[in-house]
Amino acid sequence: MELNFNELRELVTTLSQTDISELTLKGTDFELTLRKQGAIATVGPSAAVTGSPEQPIAVSVIGGPPATSTAPTVSVPTPPPSADSNLVEITSPMVGTFYRSPAPEEPSFVEIGDRIQTGQTVCIIEAMKLMNELEAEVSGEIVEILVGNAQPVEFGQPLMRVRPN
Instruction: Please write the tens of the pLDDT for every residue from 75-129.
Output: 344 445 445 579 999 999 999 999 999 999 999 999 999 999 999 999 999 999 9
The CATH class of 88-164 is mainly beta
pTM as predicted: 0.51
Sequence spans of domains, the chain: 5-63, 88-164
Please give the Cα distance from 56 to 79 (Å, whole number). Answer: 9
pLDDT digits (tens, 9 = 90+) for 41-65: 434 433 344 444 444 445 444 444 4
Closest C-alpha to 53, from 33, 74, 80? 80
